A and B are shown apart, each in its own frame.
Chain A
Amino acid sequence: KAGVTQTPRYLIKTRGQQVTLSCSPISGHRSVSWYQQTPGQGLQFLFEYFSETQRNKGNFPGRFSGRQFSNSRSEMNVSTLELGDSALYLCASSFSGGSQETQYFGPGTRLLVL
């Protein structure tokens, strides 16, 4: 079974631009979670989608948004980029997002904002 895939793997943007990251979950998984990882803040939860609905959201500004498609693929968008948005963005999938289910992570997208 193919693992979680994320595209692009690397991205360089300038302040004020917007960016869209994509995540394809493991086949059969319907829950997709997104995390931001920075050296200062560590790993922080952004949001979770299941059946095209956002069920959970972390403490991030409204510039961070996401969506999920009917095939469970998910995208996250960051508008009006700031220098502090430079981070590794990880997505993870699980069957239904239950608390005892293992989340399997993709390789991440490294975003650099200049």
Chain B
Amino acid sequence: AQSVAQPEDQVNVAEGNPLTVKCTYSVSGNPYLFWYVQYPNRGLQFLLKYITGDNLVKGSYGFEAEFNKSQTSFHLKKPSALVSDSALYFCAVKEWGSASKIIFGSGTRLSIRP
């Protein structure tokens, strides 16, 4: 069975500082990994995904994520946070070749203070 965990309910960062939102996953085979962002009263928006290849994936709005197979992690990062990055972030995983659907984590609320 596949699963995904976001160990932090909330992350607080000062504007201009680097940010990291953590995600770990569990699948039997090869994972597909995703990050989505949700702004208040909106649906989820795709940020980036890892399928194969380079472990560092670049996405929208200056975000990037690093795939680490040995640690089964896919942490979301940004070098310099903006107040407008404040939102709810979801990590998701899908096992390649599995009939099961994508599984979402419980979400991490990112708060950037001016």
- Whether A and B are associated in the same complex: the answer reads no
Residues on B facing A (Cβ under 8 Å): none
